[in-house]
Amino acid sequence: MTITGQCLCGKVSYKIEGELQMSGVCHCKNCQRQAGSAFSVLFAVGDDQIEIDGDLTTYDDHSDSGNVVHRHFCGTCGSPVKTSLPIQPGQTFIKAGTLDDTSILEPQIHFWTGSAQNWVHIDENVPQMTGNPG
Give me the residues that bind Zn ion (CB under 5 A), please. Answer: 7, 9, 11, 26, 28, 31, 74, 76-77
Residue 68 Cβ, how far from Zn ion at the closest point, in Å? Answer: 14
18 versus 102: smaller Cβ distance to Zn ion = 102
Which H, E and C letters describe the chain, residue by residue? CEEEEECCCCCCEEEEECCCCEEEEECCHHHHHHHCCCCEEEEEEEHHHEEEECCEEEEEEECCCCCEEEEEEECCCCCEEEEECCCCCCEEEEEHHHECCHHHCCCCEEECHHHCCCCCCCCCCCCECCCCCC
48 versus 65: smaller Cβ distance to Zn ion = 65
Residue 18 Cβ, how far from Zn ion at the closest point, in Å? Answer: 25
Residue 115 Cβ, how far from Zn ion at the closest point, in Å? Answer: 9
48 versus 53: smaller Cβ distance to Zn ion = 53
